[in-house]
Amino acid sequence: MQLPSKLIENAVQEISKLPGIGKKTALRLALHLLRQDSKQTQSLADALRAMREQVRYCKTCYSVSDDDICHICRSEKRDKSLLCIVEDIRDLLAIENTNQYNGLYHVLGGVISPIDGIGPEDLNIDALLSRVKESEVVEVIIALNATMEGDTTAFYLTKKLRESKLKVSAIARGVPIGSELEFTDEVTLGRSITKRISFE
Protein backbone atom coordinates (compact mmCIF):
# COMPACT_ATOMS: atom_id res chain seq x y z
CA MET A 1 0.00 0.00 0.00
CA GLN A 2 1.61 3.22 -1.14
CA LEU A 3 0.47 6.18 0.93
CA PRO A 4 0.09 9.57 -0.72
CA SER A 5 1.97 11.38 2.06
CA LYS A 6 5.38 10.63 3.53
CA LEU A 7 4.26 12.19 6.83
CA ILE A 8 1.37 9.77 7.19
CA GLU A 9 3.55 6.89 6.03
CA ASN A 10 6.02 7.75 8.76
CA ALA A 11 3.31 7.98 11.43
CA VAL A 12 1.77 4.68 10.29
CA GLN A 13 5.18 3.04 10.46
CA GLU A 14 5.72 4.23 14.02
CA ILE A 15 2.20 3.35 15.22
CA SER A 16 2.39 -0.14 13.75
CA LYS A 17 5.48 -0.88 15.84
CA LEU A 18 3.11 -1.13 18.82
CA PRO A 19 2.12 -4.71 19.72
CA GLY A 20 -1.11 -5.94 18.18
CA ILE A 21 -1.41 -3.00 15.81
CA GLY A 22 -0.96 -3.73 12.11
CA LYS A 23 -0.58 -1.37 9.19
CA LYS A 24 -4.33 -1.16 8.55
CA THR A 25 -5.21 -0.26 12.14
CA ALA A 26 -2.29 2.17 12.26
CA LEU A 27 -3.62 3.93 9.17
CA ARG A 28 -7.10 4.08 10.70
CA LEU A 29 -5.68 5.66 13.85
CA ALA A 30 -3.55 8.13 11.89
CA LEU A 31 -6.53 9.23 9.78
CA HIS A 32 -8.61 9.54 12.94
CA LEU A 33 -6.04 11.91 14.44
CA LEU A 34 -6.04 13.94 11.22
CA ARG A 35 -9.80 14.39 11.46
CA GLN A 36 -9.64 15.51 15.11
CA ASP A 37 -8.49 18.83 16.47
CA SER A 38 -4.69 19.07 16.38
CA LYS A 39 -4.72 19.55 20.17
CA GLN A 40 -5.59 15.89 20.62
CA THR A 41 -2.49 14.74 18.74
CA GLN A 42 -0.40 17.21 20.69
CA SER A 43 -1.56 16.02 24.08
CA LEU A 44 -1.15 12.38 23.00
CA ALA A 45 2.43 13.04 21.86
CA ASP A 46 3.18 15.05 25.01
CA ALA A 47 1.71 12.42 27.34
CA LEU A 48 3.71 9.62 25.69
CA ARG A 49 6.93 11.58 25.82
CA ALA A 50 6.40 12.72 29.43
CA MET A 51 5.59 9.18 30.53
CA ARG A 52 8.65 7.67 28.85
CA GLU A 53 11.06 10.33 30.04
CA GLN A 54 9.83 11.04 33.55
CA VAL A 55 8.37 7.82 34.90
CA ARG A 56 10.39 6.25 37.69
CA TYR A 57 10.48 2.83 39.22
CA CYS A 58 10.04 2.13 42.91
CA LYS A 59 13.49 1.32 44.29
CA THR A 60 12.06 -1.41 46.48
CA CYS A 61 9.52 -3.30 44.41
CA TYR A 62 10.27 -2.07 40.83
CA SER A 63 6.68 -1.11 40.21
CA VAL A 64 6.25 2.17 38.34
CA SER A 65 5.91 5.18 40.56
CA ASP A 66 6.13 8.94 40.41
CA ASP A 67 8.37 8.88 43.49
CA ASP A 68 11.41 6.88 44.57
CA ILE A 69 9.28 4.58 46.73
CA CYS A 70 5.78 3.63 45.53
CA HIS A 71 2.63 4.15 47.57
CA ILE A 72 2.27 0.43 48.31
CA CYS A 73 5.79 0.06 49.72
CA ARG A 74 5.33 3.27 51.72
CA SER A 75 1.94 2.31 53.16
CA GLU A 76 1.73 1.57 56.90
CA LYS A 77 -1.40 -0.50 56.38
CA ARG A 78 0.13 -3.26 54.25
CA ASP A 79 1.19 -6.60 55.69
CA LYS A 80 5.00 -6.56 55.38
CA SER A 81 5.34 -10.30 56.02
CA LEU A 82 3.76 -11.20 52.66
CA LEU A 83 5.49 -10.63 49.32
CA CYS A 84 3.78 -11.35 46.01
CA ILE A 85 5.99 -11.81 42.94
CA VAL A 86 4.47 -10.70 39.64
CA GLU A 87 5.73 -10.42 36.08
CA ASP A 88 4.71 -6.83 35.38
CA ILE A 89 2.55 -4.07 36.78
CA ARG A 90 -0.51 -5.25 34.85
CA ASP A 91 -0.54 -8.36 37.03
CA LEU A 92 0.03 -6.20 40.11
CA LEU A 93 -2.98 -4.08 39.18
CA ALA A 94 -5.11 -7.16 38.53
CA ILE A 95 -4.33 -8.49 42.02
CA GLU A 96 -4.89 -5.07 43.62
CA ASN A 97 -8.30 -4.93 41.96
CA THR A 98 -9.41 -8.10 43.74
CA ASN A 99 -9.13 -6.31 47.13
CA GLN A 100 -8.09 -9.69 48.56
CA TYR A 101 -4.40 -9.05 49.04
CA ASN A 102 -2.84 -6.66 51.51
CA GLY A 103 0.85 -7.57 51.35
CA LEU A 104 3.72 -6.15 49.32
CA TYR A 105 4.78 -6.84 45.74
CA HIS A 106 7.93 -7.44 43.77
CA VAL A 107 7.80 -6.81 40.01
CA LEU A 108 10.20 -9.04 38.05
CA GLY A 109 9.91 -7.10 34.80
CA GLY A 110 9.48 -10.27 32.75
CA VAL A 111 9.99 -14.02 32.94
CA ILE A 112 12.93 -16.27 32.09
CA SER A 113 12.68 -17.04 28.39
CA PRO A 114 15.77 -18.55 26.70
CA ILE A 115 14.13 -18.20 23.25
CA ASP A 116 13.89 -14.43 23.69
CA GLY A 117 17.32 -14.34 25.29
CA ILE A 118 15.96 -13.37 28.71
CA GLY A 119 17.86 -14.95 31.59
CA PRO A 120 17.55 -14.49 35.37
CA GLU A 121 20.13 -11.69 35.25
CA ASP A 122 17.82 -9.59 33.04
CA LEU A 123 15.06 -9.63 35.65
CA ASN A 124 14.85 -7.99 39.09
CA ILE A 125 15.76 -11.29 40.77
CA ASP A 126 19.02 -10.28 42.48
CA ALA A 127 17.22 -7.32 43.97
CA LEU A 128 14.46 -9.67 45.16
CA LEU A 129 16.92 -12.04 46.85
CA SER A 130 18.75 -9.29 48.70
CA ARG A 131 15.43 -7.65 49.53
CA VAL A 132 13.96 -10.69 51.27
CA LYS A 133 17.16 -11.21 53.27
CA GLU A 134 16.93 -7.84 54.96
CA SER A 135 13.16 -7.65 55.36
CA GLU A 136 10.32 -8.89 57.54
CA VAL A 137 9.01 -11.09 54.71
CA VAL A 138 7.90 -14.53 55.91
CA GLU A 139 6.02 -15.87 52.90
CA VAL A 140 6.60 -15.31 49.21
CA ILE A 141 3.62 -15.87 46.90
CA ILE A 142 4.56 -16.54 43.29
CA ALA A 143 1.88 -15.16 40.99
CA LEU A 144 3.25 -15.80 37.50
CA ASN A 145 1.32 -16.87 34.43
CA ALA A 146 0.98 -20.62 33.93
CA THR A 147 3.07 -20.64 30.75
CA MET A 148 6.26 -22.56 30.10
CA GLU A 149 8.30 -19.41 30.85
CA GLY A 150 6.25 -18.60 33.95
CA ASP A 151 6.69 -22.11 35.31
CA THR A 152 10.44 -22.06 34.58
CA THR A 153 10.79 -18.76 36.42
CA ALA A 154 8.70 -20.01 39.34
CA PHE A 155 10.89 -23.12 39.60
CA TYR A 156 14.06 -21.01 39.55
CA LEU A 157 12.71 -18.60 42.16
CA THR A 158 11.52 -21.38 44.45
CA LYS A 159 14.99 -22.93 44.46
CA LYS A 160 16.64 -19.60 45.24
CA LEU A 161 14.10 -18.51 47.85
CA ARG A 162 14.18 -21.81 49.75
CA GLU A 163 17.89 -21.16 50.40
CA SER A 164 16.73 -18.18 52.48
CA LYS A 165 14.37 -20.46 54.46
CA LEU A 166 11.28 -18.56 53.32
CA LYS A 167 7.85 -20.11 52.95
CA VAL A 168 7.12 -20.16 49.21
CA SER A 169 3.64 -20.58 47.77
CA ALA A 170 1.94 -20.07 44.42
CA ILE A 171 -1.50 -18.78 43.55
CA ALA A 172 -4.09 -21.57 43.26
CA ARG A 173 -4.88 -22.95 39.80
CA GLY A 174 -8.19 -24.57 39.13
CA VAL A 175 -11.62 -24.25 37.58
CA PRO A 176 -12.55 -20.54 37.50
CA ILE A 177 -15.50 -19.45 39.66
CA GLY A 178 -18.67 -19.41 37.55
CA SER A 179 -17.40 -21.61 34.74
CA GLU A 180 -18.68 -25.09 34.03
CA LEU A 181 -16.63 -28.26 34.46
CA GLU A 182 -17.78 -29.50 31.08
CA PHE A 183 -16.15 -26.56 29.28
CA THR A 184 -12.96 -26.35 31.34
CA ASP A 185 -9.80 -27.41 29.49
CA GLU A 186 -8.34 -30.79 30.49
CA VAL A 187 -5.10 -29.43 31.91
CA THR A 188 -6.89 -27.09 34.33
CA LEU A 189 -9.49 -29.67 35.31
CA GLY A 190 -6.81 -32.33 35.74
CA ARG A 191 -4.72 -30.08 37.92
CA SER A 192 -7.78 -29.08 39.96
CA ILE A 193 -8.20 -32.75 40.87
CA THR A 194 -4.57 -33.61 41.62
CA LYS A 195 -4.17 -30.37 43.63
CA ARG A 196 -7.59 -30.64 45.27
CA ILE A 197 -8.24 -28.67 48.45
CA SER A 198 -9.40 -30.59 51.51
CA PHE A 199 -12.28 -29.26 53.60
CA GLU A 200 -10.80 -28.53 57.01
The residues, ordered by sequence, that sit 6+ positions from 157 with a Cβ below 8 Å of its Cβ are 85, 125, 128, 140, 142, 168
51 binds a second copy (CB under 8 A): yes
- Paired residues of 141 in beta bridges: 84, 169
77 binds a second copy (CB under 8 A): no
Closest to 116 measured CA to CA, from 78, 85, 147: 147
Number of residues that bind a second copy (CB under 8 A): 60
Rank residues 88 and 139 by Cβ distance to a second copy and give the closer one. 88
Query: What angle, 0 to 180 degrees and rounded to 10, lies between the N-to-C axes of helices 23-35 and 38-54?
Result: 120
69 binds a second copy (CB under 8 A): no
For a second copy, the binding residue among 72, 108, 112, 132 (CB under 8 A) is 72
47 binds a second copy (CB under 8 A): yes
Q: How far is the CB of 119 from a second copy (least distance, A)?
A: 16
Q: How far is the CB of 80 from a second copy (least distance, A)?
A: 18
How far is Cα 1 from Cα 19, in angstroms, rounded to an integer? 20
28 binds a second copy (CB under 8 A): yes
How far is Cα 188 from Cα 172, in angstroms, rounded to an integer? 11
Q: How far is the CB of 33 from a second copy (least distance, A)?
A: 6
Q: Distance from CA of residue 108 to its chain's centroid?
A: 8
Site residues (CB under 8 A) for a second copy?
Answer: 1-8, 10-11, 13-15, 17-21, 25, 27-35, 38, 40-55, 63-66, 70-72, 88-90, 92-93, 96-97, 109
